[in-house]
Amino acid sequence: MSLLSVRDLTVKFAMRDQTVTALNGISFDLAKGERLGIVGESGAGKSITGFSLMNLLSRPGYIDNGQILFEGEDVVQMNDKRLRNLRGNRMAMIFQDPMVTLNPVLTIGQQMIETLMAHRKLSREEARQIAIVKLREVYIPSPEERLEQYPHELSGGMRQRIIIAIALLLDPQLIIADEPTTALDVTIQADIMELMLELCQSNQVGLILITHDLGVVSQMTERTLVMYAGRIIESGRTREIINDPQHPYTQGLINALPQQTLPGQRLKQIPGNMPGLASIPTGCAFNPRCKYATDLCRSRVPETVHYGEVEVACHEVQRLNSDEDRQEARA
Amino acid sequence: MKDAKTDRPLLEIRNLEKRFDLDHGFLETLKFKQGRIVRETRSVHAVNNISLEASRGEALCVVGESGCGKSTVARLVAGLLTPTAGEIHYGGQRIDSLSRGEMQPLRKKIQMIFQNPYASLNPRMTIRQALEEPVRHHNPGASAGEVRDKVTEVMMSVGVDPSWAKRYPHEFSGGQRQRIAIARALTVDPEFIIADEPISALDVSIQAQVLNLMLEAKESRGLTYLFITHDLSVVEHFGTRVAVLYLGSVCEVADTRTLFSNPKHPYTRALLSAVPQLKDDRPNHIRLKGEIPTPINLPQGCPFQSRCAFADARCKSEKPKAIHQPDGSTVACHAVEEDRLDEVAAG
């Protein structure tokens, strides 16, 4: 049985004059200890997916349809008490900005010890010892002293390590990390990524990594979902998706990276912008930006099909693959 | 390529320093130490003795991590801050000590693009108002028709539809706003553009659009850029020369190709290795010890020594000087000078 199984998840936002669909029937599975990347541009629905998995959506957003089976139990149907037991305990989340996640008026120690005592029957001293062990696991120097410090006394990289330590406090089965290193410098980002990879591998913790950085996904994950306008448009093994993407959007994303073009040459841009939720085009949502779009693309939403090594939602994937330019590009 | 008139680089920065005082006023400078009251002024050493040059038609990139002083350099060159010491020359003229009035004609030549297009456009001005304002200001004699024509021409050239002119900034996406911000800088026909992280806030596909636009403007208008960024993959694509900054000091300056094919300074190497690559299947970088020290109490000696694997006694006591290398780059590192980098790595 997979650790997490999402079926046909639809999330809507009730606005004053209309209801918009933020996630449109997404389905995916995650095995125990598996690392999955979710990529896409702002507005694709990556973060909404992360929030939904923990049932953390707040008004005006709501889960309209679908199942989120975590260890066989449907998160969507859970009551508050069961959700409290789920969150932090079996599933933990890491956000982009550590300064927002940590409470500025409590010491690191208070935040860690309280979390432990809320979920486990432990004495304060036992909780303190566990906190120290966890801080050591994320390579925080002199953890005893850090427990007495406030978040503002620590650097950005150090804070994000502490967030990871807090996420790991209760030995969860799954960590959802939403752009965990976007606010950090590259050298610190590399350290944090290496640390997360090491911890996930040694403890068999599942990871859902939400990011817009394809390089990070390539380093960190085994499988990848590519999202566009609230749907999964391509999924498969990370290596396959990066080396041989099938959907024109995934191809566009990868080709737009400066590394993919000779220095000084024009970058291969994707024309246009991600559509707003209120104005998602009919048919394939990507059709106005896609150079392969046909009348079929403009009228009908493509089914997800198995093509080569990946699952892809594109009407034209066959024709695209026989495209001469692409054959040449690969050669 | 040197400036034809003076045979000097278009922009020259010499021994530039900028310190920001942390303690303002007499009372704040009083500290209680070892049972005595002493006077002490702390300051942030944002930029320490930086010398850089940019010739006409170049795209000089300044890279480094947060807090290394790269934005301060941009602001000093733009005249938004006054340096504590050192000189800035533009087109042969010293510009760091000019009065507001004397600076006026130069502001037309030097324009700046900022990181956040949400903050750099006035939300209460339509796009037309925002774009016409600099043209009117710098060409007081221009008729309304001339101003309008100029603005329409620039809008077309950067892919901003002239029919958007009546709309307000909040009606546009981040990428469109950044185009408008670039259009605003181009309306006065500048020669030199200072761009402070112009694409960091944008999505990948939009980054490509904006970078292409900046490259086109460079070709068609012969612009010179000072490009501030933390993203090395953009530097490799866009820059002709790169300066790597660490804690307010220059570590290495080199042609883009030289820097990426043969980085010399240990910090440059670490920085390059930390960029996640598509071909990697796990993090694969040179680990640095610790974190960036604060620029308030700068360490003695080399600013990078506390994190450097090659630091020895000399690095701790003596600040390295920038030394020219045979391949044209300039590196400030004792270990490079003594040629002991690869030995340690091998042993």
- The structure tokens 């942390």 sit at B22
Exposure of B15 in the CB half-sphere (CA atoms within 13 A): 4
Q: Return the percentage of chain B with pLDDT > 70, whole number.
A: 96
CB contact under 8 A, A186 and B203: no
Three-class SS state of A149: coil
CB contact under 8 A, A270 and B205: yes
The confidence score (pLDDT) of residue B345 equals: 47
CA dist., res. A302 & res. A311, Å (int): 12
Between vectors from CA B68 to CA B250 and to CA B241, what angle results, nearest 5°? 45
CB contact under 8 A, B273 and A253: no
The answer to whether residue B264 scores a pLDDT higher than 90 is yes
The answer to whether residue A78 scores a pLDDT higher than 80 is yes
DSSP B59-112: EEEEE--TTSSHHHHHHHHHTSS--SEEEEEETTEE-TT--HHHHHHHHHHEEE
The confidence score (pLDDT) of residue B83 equals: 94
pLDDT tens digit sequence for A159-191: 988 999 999 899 999 999 999 888 788 888 888
More confident site: A209 or B297: A209
Tell me the residues of chain B between 226 and 255 that have a Cβ less than 8 Å away from chain A.
230, 232-234, 236-238
The answer to whether residue B224 scores a pLDDT higher than 80 is yes
Asked if B94 and B102 touch (Cβ cutoff 8 Å), the reply is no
* Burial (CB count <10 Å: 0-12, 13-18, 19+), residue B93: exposed
Tell me the residues of chain B between 16 and 75 that have a Cβ less than 8 Å away from chain A.
65-66
Asked if A174 and A208 touch (Cβ cutoff 8 Å), the reply is yes
Element (H, E) at A35: strand A35-39
The answer to whether residue B1 scores a pLDDT higher than 50 is no
Of B205, B245, B272, which to mutate for an interface test with A (greatest number of A Cβ within 10 Å)? B205
* B chain contacts of residue A258, beta-carbon cutoff 8 Å: 208, 211, 233-234, 236-238
The confidence score (pLDDT) of residue A269 equals: 87
Q: Which of A187, A213, A242 sits opposite B65 (nearest CB)?
A: A187
pLDDT tens digit sequence for B86-145: 999 999 899 988 888 899 889 999 999 998 888 889 999 999 999 999 999 998 888 999
The confidence score (pLDDT) of residue B7 equals: 67
Asked if B283 is an interface residue toward chain A (Cβ–Cβ < 8 A), one would say yes
More confident site: A9 or A97: A9
CA dist., res. A36 & res. A34, Å (int): 6
More confident site: A217 or A273: A217
Which residues are within 8 A (CB) of A198 and not within 5 positions of it... i.e. 6 or more apart? Answer: none
Q: In what order do the strands lie in the sheet with B85-90?
A: B43-54, B11-21, B85-90, B93-94
Mean pLDDT of chain A: 89
Mean pLDDT of chain B: 88
Predicted-complex ipTM score? 0.81
The answer to whether residue A295 scores a pLDDT higher than 80 is yes
Q: Pairing relation of β-strands B11-21 and B85-90?
A: antiparallel
The CA radius of gyration of chain A, in Å to the nearest whole number, is 21
What mean pLDDT comes out for the span A295-322?
Answer: 88
The confidence score (pLDDT) of residue B262 equals: 92
Tell me the residues of chain B between 164 and 223 that have a Cβ less than 8 Å away from chain A.
173, 175-176, 203-209, 211-212, 215
* Burial (CB count <10 Å: 0-12, 13-18, 19+), residue A271: exposed
The confidence score (pLDDT) of residue A284 equals: 93
The confidence score (pLDDT) of residue B233 equals: 86
Asked if B278 is an interface residue toward chain A (Cβ–Cβ < 8 A), one would say yes
User: Where residue B289 falls among pLDDT bands split at 50, 70, 90?
Assistant: confident
pLDDT tens digit sequence for B233-250: 889 999 999 999 999 999
Picking from A131-135, A316-320, B123-127, which range would have the lowest pLDDT averaged per residue? A316-320
10 Å Cβ neighbour count for A58? 7
Asked if A253 is an interface residue toward chain B (Cβ–Cβ < 8 A), one would say yes
What mean pLDDT comes out for the span A250-271?
Answer: 88
The answer to whether residue B343 scores a pLDDT higher than 60 is no
Asked if B24 and B99 touch (Cβ cutoff 8 Å), the reply is no
Q: Which of B237, B273, B288 sits opposite A258 (nearest CB)?
A: B237
Q: Pairing relation of β-strands A91-94 and A174-178?
A: parallel
Q: Where are the alpha helices (DSSP H) in chain B?
A: 26-29, 70-78, 100-109, 127-138, 144-157, 174-186, 204-221, 232-238, 256-261, 266-273, 313-317, 334-337, 341-346
The confidence score (pLDDT) of residue B341 equals: 78
Which residues are within 8 A (CB) of B239 and not within 5 positions of it... i.e. 6 or more apart? Answer: B59, B60, B61, B227, B256
Length of chain B in residues, anyone?
347
